[in-house]
Amino acid sequence: MLIMSAEDIAMRKALFTEYQIIAVLQFVEVGRTV
């Protein structure tokens, strides 16, 4: 299925940015402890 609804796209973008934020926060925390 190549056609995605706007809701699907928005959900995937939100999920992607959420994972990015978590990754950045974890990276910062690791940088602080080291």
Under the banding of pLDDT at 50, 70 and 90, the label for residue 34 is low
Q: Which tens digit of pLDDT belongs to each residue from 4-30?
A: 798 998 888 888 899 999 999 998 888
pLDDT for position 29: 86
pLDDT for position 22: 92
Q: How many residues does the chain have?
A: 34
CA distances from 29 to 16, 21, 32, 33 (A): 20, 12, 5, 6
Alpha-helical (H) ranges within the chain are: 6-33
pLDDT for position 20: 92
Give this prediction's pTM: 0.50
